[in-house]
Amino acid sequence: MHPDPRPLVLSLAGITKRFGPLVANDAIDLDVRAGEIVALLGENGAGKTTLMSILFGHYVADEGEVFVAGADGRLAPLPGGSAEAALQAGIGMVHQHFALAENLTGLENILLGTMPLWKLSLGRRAARARIEALMVESGLQADIDTPVGRLSVGEQQRIEILKALYRNVRVLILDEPTAVLTPQEADGLFATVRRLAEKGLAVIFISHKLHEVLALCERVVVLRGGAKVADRPTAGADRAMLAELMIGRAIPARERVPGAPGAAVLRLAGVYVGRPGERDRLEHAGLEVRSGEIVGIAGVSGNGQGALAALVAGLAAARAGRVEIAGEAVTGADPLARLRAGVGRIPEDRHRDGTIGGLTIAENYVLETIGAPENQRGGLVRRAEIRARASAAIKAYDVRCPGPDAAIRSLSGGNMQKVVLARVLERAPKLVLAHQPTRGLDIGATTDVHRRLLAARARGAGVLLISEDLDELFALSDRIAVIHAGHLSAAMPTDGLDVRTVGLMMAGHGLEDAA
Amino acid sequence: MWWDAFDILLQANFWAATIRIATPLIFGVLGALICERAGVLNLGIEGIFVAGAMAGWLAVYLGLSLWGGVVVAALVGAAFGLIHGTLTVPLGLSQHVTGIGVTLLATSAAYFGYRVAFPNVATPPRIEPFPTLDVPLLRDLPFIGPIAGQQTAFTVLAFLCVAVVAFVLARTPLGLSLRAVGDNPEAVEAQGLSVVGLRIGAVMAGSALMALGGAFLTLSAFNAFYFGMINGRGWVCIALTVFASWRPGKALLGALLFGALDAYQLRIQTIAGGMVPSQIFLMLPYLFSIAALVLVARRADYPRALMKPYFKGQR
């Protein structure tokens, strides 16, 4: 291989970070050159975030050093433990959770921290001129005079990038930037990133989406279990190969098997939930989920998925319209009645809504059925019974834990989700409401959740799968509906459906008219 | 009688009293607003009022000038702010509990200090308070003149503070960082600024203003320090801060509105006192506060990070 003529701008040498017995980063080397787009690929927990946190001074590395090119192009060590030092050295990062103050305008957010505190003026006019020039140069358009809390996620992200550019970054780190975007918005972002790279910006693109890595980046660095397992050009690599590097074993490609739909278990007609001003609402929604099929709901989060899930779970009532579950019309908000009617709920946030952290696994396992005769007699909890059945569930669902009496908060996300799955599926629900069931899980746990949902379908349950992950939706769903700003499209058969079409609908094209 | 009730509003005396009653509240609401904009609820306010009233007055009694007393009060307030800030910001203790603790501590310290200084005094010693303003031209204006003529330089300071706080919050890098740190401390940290420094600084500055509210009572409205003289004014400021949506201009409006109600109930008592028990009138300003909170607080736009401790490196 001939040497790369572009100058090095960032070099991590032998970075090691331990948290107790866990080695989060194990002697990681990483070089980045000007104008290069490098992917940092790895599963949750592979050490990507830790590595970047060290770069930004949130953590201090136990071993190893970071070198950054100075103004003269020579590499100099970066002092650890200081966000300011990283910013001074021209390193900028767009976090997955944006570091924006929502009560400030875009302009104010961009200016934050760029000048000494004790000045009598912000110099808005000069700043505005510079930001507008940056917008033209980079192609990033954003409203900088509205409090950012009122902007769309895509626009907030553009302001985050502008914020970095305003500080003259030479290395830009993007942490899972497409997680919150529609495919079209992601394409726009990629075009911008390429444009910035051509001008000499070095970009580190953190992701676990293989097709994005292959489409955007010229080099890919793969982390697994805290160690670097690959550092190679993307040319000549393919998805299967990267997946294997990332997980450490080959994953069999899955073929979607069609379900065998029966009678409707959920039927919505002309349903309204929430007030018209709210973003998370339903407007005249119609939907049918039949037994033995999986219906996917695609959409950027916050577009009404929460309202739909709350409606089905009985946490919210429909303002108007007809809701039928298992053939019976339901009204009002009554979660217990929904449970009895045969709805199994896998909540979006398993820590907040799915489990009670301080209770044991056994207690969480019977949380939804504690009033049933098998769990209580004469108002007294049948402890031995419950523990025995929880132990059986732990075995059946392969929950890695010390036992049924362990506090559920001590479990990893994947194992916690297995407990939730066991609770929901062991009751053989007629309708499974799976809201982001694999969010934050690694590939192994994700595969397990998918297998369980398919098994529930095979058993005859109807599954309503709400997800932001289009790959997941296309892999599992028999039909897919798209939700945007409270409007729900008709459910379209997945066979013959195109990702681009879904993407356009996620951005709102052709949805308001349809509704 | 209805005419009498309306006539009160036309008396310069009523408006002068409104401003006088509002002045300590203006200081208090501004102080609370600065703390909360930075993300820290300061329930030490009631005690800091007491300590400010006592410290400012004692300093003047011991020979300092009136403005010297004002400075001493502000410093004492800032010191209690430092206590509250240290406990709630880097240590992340409950802001409610700490605030109540600071109120108890500051109140007791003030009373104790008073007793140590004057072990055997039955009637509180007096000082010469701020004189009323006598501005040429202004005093000759009809209606306005008599109102302004009853105010002191301390009140002018309160109005100046509103303008300064509004300017700093809206127009300076410091104010920008302050507003940001109460909404999203991660964003502030990510820009290389110190969350702890900003928050403690804000709590100290806000507490200094609260102490000035107390000092106004002993150095301008009255001329001595009494036990129980603060009488819930600090708590009213906490409510008015929500009413003001954390904006200095609205804070001024809220304080004046409360002052006007209080001044009005004092006067309406003399008219309707025979028919209605006076306690009903005494309740009026507080009923107003509750009603205003019920109406405003439901849709209030609280600083997002209010009462949420921030620890570096924890996301």
Within 8 A of B180 by CB-CB distance, chain A residues are 101, 103-104, 108-109, 112
Distance of residue B92 Cα from the nearest chain A Cα, in angstroms: 18
Whether B304 sits inside 8 A of A95 (CB atoms) is no
The secondary structure of B68-94, three-state, reads HHHHHHHHHHHHHHHHHHHHHCCCCCC
Distance of residue B142 Cα from the nearest chain A Cα, in angstroms: 38
What SS3 state is found at A470? helix
Residue A2 has pLDDT above 80, yes or no: no
Whether A103 sits inside 8 A of B189 (CB atoms) is no
C-alpha R_g of chain B: 20
Written as one string, the DSSP assignment of A25-44 is: EEEEEEEEETT-EEEEE--T
Tell me how far apart the alpha carbons of residues A84 and A403 are, in angstroms, rounded to a whole number: 46
Output the CA torsion sign for A194, A196, A199, A203: negative
> What confidence score (pLDDT) does residue A254 get?
66
Written as one string, the DSSP assignment of B162-226 is: HHHHHHHHHHSHHHHHHHHHTT-HHHHHHTT--HHHHHHHHHHHHHHHHHHHHHHIIIII-SS--
Q: Are B43 and B207 in contact (CB under 8 A)?
A: no
DSSP element (H, E) containing A343: strand A343-346
> What confidence score (pLDDT) does residue A513 get?
47
Could you tell me which CATH class the domain A1-90+172-250 is placed in? Answer: alpha beta
Q: Are A291 and A261 in contact (CB under 8 A)?
A: yes
Residue A416 backbone dihedrals phi, psi, to 5 degrees? -60, -40
> What confidence score (pLDDT) does residue A230 get?
93
Within 8 A of B168 by CB-CB distance, chain A residues are none
> What confidence score (pLDDT) does residue A25 get?
92
Local structure of residue A430 (DSSP, 8 states): S
pLDDT tier at A515, thresholds 50, 70, 90:
very low
> What is the reported pTM?
0.84
What are the CA-CA distances from residue A254 to residues A246, A475, B49 (Å)? 18, 8, 70
Where are any strands of DSSP class E within A245-319?
A: 264-273, 282-290, 294-298
Residues of A with CB under 8 A from a CB of B: 53, 56, 58-59, 82-84, 87-88, 93, 95, 97-104, 108-109, 111-122
Which residues, at least 6 apart from B304, have a Cβ–Cβ distance to it below 8 Å?
A102, A103, B182, B183, B184
> What confidence score (pLDDT) does residue A208 get?
80
> What confidence score (pLDDT) does residue B2 get?
79
Cα A400 → chain centroid: 24
Summarize pLDDT for B90-111 with one digit per residue, the tens: 999 999 999 999 999 999 999 9
Q: Are A309 and A468 in contact (CB under 8 A)?
A: no
Same fold, A1-90+172-250 and A264-342+429-514: yes
Among A79, A85, A15, A80, residue whose Cα is nearest residue A50: A15
Using CA atoms of A299, A305, A306, A311 in order, give the dihedral in degrees to the nearest 10. Answer: 180
Tell me how far apart the alpha carbons of residues B303 and B180 are, in angstroms, rounded to a whole number: 9
Domain boundaries, chain A: 1-90+172-250, 105-167, 264-342+429-514
Summarize pLDDT for B2-26 with one digit per residue, the tens: 788 888 898 999 999 999 999 999 9
Summarize pLDDT for A447-457 with one digit per residue, the tens: 889 999 999 99
Whether B174 sits inside 8 A of A117 (CB atoms) is yes
Report residue A138 as tokens.
């980079």
pLDDT tier at A36, thresholds 50, 70, 90:
very high
The secondary structure of A58-102, three-state, reads CCCCCEEEEEEECCCCCEEECCCCCHHHHHHCCEEEECCCCCCCC
Place domain A264-342+429-514 in its CATH homologous superfamily. P-loop containing nucleotide triphosphate hydrolases (3.40.50.300)
On average, the pLDDT of chain A sits at 90
Strand partners, A63: A16
Strand partners, A289: A266
Among A312, A318, A375, residue whose Cα is nearest residue A346: A312
Among A107, A118, A100, A119, residue whose Cα is nearest residue B201: A118
- B interface test, pick of A112, A145, A176 with most B CB neighbours within 10 Å: A112
> What confidence score (pLDDT) does residue A38 get?
96
> What confidence score (pLDDT) does residue B315 get?
44
> What confidence score (pLDDT) does residue B313 get?
60
Helices (H), A112-256: 124-138, 153-166, 183-198, 210-216, 239-247
Which residues, at least 6 apart from A326, have a Cβ–Cβ distance to it below 8 Å?
A265, A341, A342, A430, A431
Residue with the bigger pLDDT between A44 and A230: it is: A230
Which residues of chain B register pLDDT less than 50? 315
Among A318, A353, A478, residue whose Cα is nearest residue A424: A353
Helices (H), A315-462: 335-341, 361-365, 383-396, 413-425, 443-459
Tell me how far apart the alpha carbons of residues B237 and B28 are, in angstroms, rounded to a whole number: 6
Local structure of residue A407 (DSSP, 8 states): B
**Strands lying side by side in the sheet with A227-233:** A91-94, A171-175, A202-207, A37-41, A219-224, A227-233
> What confidence score (pLDDT) does residue A122 get?
93
> What confidence score (pLDDT) does residue B94 get?
96
Residue A343 has pLDDT above 70, yes or no: yes
For A121, the closest chain B residue by CA position comes to B172
C-alpha R_g of chain A: 25
Residues of B with CB under 8 A from a CB of A: 171-174, 176-177, 179-180, 182-184, 186-193, 301, 303-304, 312-313, 315
> What confidence score (pLDDT) does residue A514 get?
43
What SS3 state is found at A308? helix
> What confidence score (pLDDT) does residue A96 get?
81
Which residues, at least 6 apart from A372, have a Cβ–Cβ distance to it below 8 Å?
none
Q: Which domains does chain B have, with CATH numbers?
A: 2-119+149-297 (1.10.3470)
Residue A351 has pLDDT above 90, yes or no: no
